[in-house]
């Protein structure tokens, strides 16, 4: 589902953020991505979401080589890869419903399908009753669940999360990770960047470790 082949990413002003990174993930696999601050975790996820392009090497998702993906297929790719962020990135002046609907509105889905799909996604994250609320009326854990509903509403086969529990306390963090387990159980491929090593250790999934832009460890899991 995901393949990195000798991937390098250099930011002109900062030098190499990723150096010669190669790995593969199978369909339905769930893995963690760890490493010190600045190790390159966000960069790796941004390459997968096509928010950045590699300087060298190949990134392949679902058989599509992102380096040679025609411009017109970028929106389609983005719908195949749901992204979840530490700071949730919700629109503060729009309702929970509107925030979750956004990817479907952008994709031009018919109105009646949008309502059905948004409610299904909110149900999955346990927020069906809050669709009219604005994000500021929600707790951090709830806001992140809105972020997750938005990421899954277009039913992407791949979910990427960048420090999804970085702003949450341990109990809420565990709830978010349990939610990820449920998507894993239905066959979604997940890659989750996190500093939360105690949660990582308690969950026995494959774990990648980056150090100074290099993949130094690939371990764990069943």
Ligand X SMILES: Nc1ncnc2c1ncn2[C@@H]1O[C@H](COP(=O)(O)OP(=O)(O)OP(=O)(O)O)[C@@H](O)[C@H]1O
We find the least distance from the C-beta atom of residue 89 to ligand X, in angstroms, to be: 15
Maximum pairwise Cα distance, the chain: 48
Q: Does 192 bind ligand X (CB under 6 A)?
A: no
Judged by CB under 6 A, does residue 42 bind ligand X? yes
Identify the H or E element spanning 9.
strand 2-11
Query: Residue 174 contacts by C-beta under 8 Å, 6 or more apart in sequence?
Result: 199
CB of 192 to ligand X, least distance (A): 12
Does 121 engage in binding with ligand X (CB under 6 A)? no
Q: Considering beta carbons, is residue 99 or 194 the nearer one to ligand X?
A: 194
Instruction: Map residue 129 onto helix, strand or coil.
Output: helix
**Cα atoms in the 13 Å half-sphere on the side-chain side of 155:** 8
Tokens read off for 96:
């929970």
75 belongs to the binding site for ligand X (CB under 6 A): no
Pick the closest to residue 7 from 38, 32, 34, 43 (CA basis): 43
Instruction: Give the one residue of 25, 39, 84, 114 binding ligand X; rule: CB under 6 A.
Output: 39
Q: What is the CA 167 to chain-centroid distance, rounded? A: 16
Min separation Cβ 164 and ligand X, Å: 12
- Among residues 41 and 145, whose Cβ is nearest to ligand X? 41
17 binds ligand X per the rule CB under 6 A: yes
| Span between the terminal Cα atoms of the chain, in Å | 18
Which one, 34 or 80, has the nearer CB to ligand X? Answer: 34
- Select 14 or 71, whichever has its Cβ closest to ligand X: 14
Considering only the stretches 40-48, 100-108, 131-139, 180-188, report the one whose residues sit in contact with ligand X under the rule CB under 6 A.
40-48
Q: Can you read off the two tokens belonging to residue 16?
A: 């190499």
Q: Does 54 bind ligand X (CB under 6 A)?
A: no
104 touches ligand X by CB under 6 A: no
> What contacts 24+ positions apart, CB below 8 Å, involve 135-141?
135/88, 135/90, 135/91, 135/92, 135/96, 135/99, 136/92, 138/96, 139/172, 140/88, 140/167, 140/168, 140/172, 141/168, 141/172, 141/175, 141/176
Q: Of residues 2, 21, 25, 40, which one binds ligand X by CB under 6 A?
A: 40
11 is a site residue for ligand X (CB under 6 A)? yes
Binder to ligand X among 1, 25, 43, 152 (CB under 6 A)?
Answer: 43
Kindly state whether residue 35 participates in binding ligand X, applying the rule CB under 6 A.
yes
Residues contributing to the site for ligand X (CB under 6 A): 11, 13-14, 17, 35, 37-43
């Amino acid at each position: 589902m995901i393949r990195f082949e000798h991937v390098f990413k250099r930011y002109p002003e900062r030098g190499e953020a990723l150096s010669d990174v190669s790995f593969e993930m199978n369909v339905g696999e769930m893995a963690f991505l760890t490493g010190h601050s600045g190790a390159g975790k966000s960069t790796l996820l941004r390459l997968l979401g096509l928010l950045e392009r590699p300087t060298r090497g190949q990134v392949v998702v679902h058989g599509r080589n992102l380096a040679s993906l025609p411009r017109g297929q970028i929106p389609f790719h983005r719908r195949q890869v749901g992204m979840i962020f530490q700071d949730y990135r919700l629109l503060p002046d729009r309702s929970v419903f509107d925030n979750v609907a956004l990817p479907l509105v952008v994709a031009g889905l018919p109105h009646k399908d949008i309502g059905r799909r948004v409610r299904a996604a909110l149900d999955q994250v346990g927020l069906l009753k809050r669709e009219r609320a604005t994000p500021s009326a929600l707790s951090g854990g709830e806001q992140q669940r809105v972020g997750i509903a938005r990421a899954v509403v277009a039913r992407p086969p791949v979910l990427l999360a960048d420090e999804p529990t970085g702003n949450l306390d341990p109990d809420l963090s565990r709830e978010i990770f349990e939610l990820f387990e449920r998507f894993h159980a239905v066959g979604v491929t997940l890659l989750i960047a996190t500093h939360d090593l105690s949660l990582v250790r308690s969950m026995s999934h494959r774990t990648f470790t980056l150090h100074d832009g290099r993949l130094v460890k690939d371990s764990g899991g069943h």
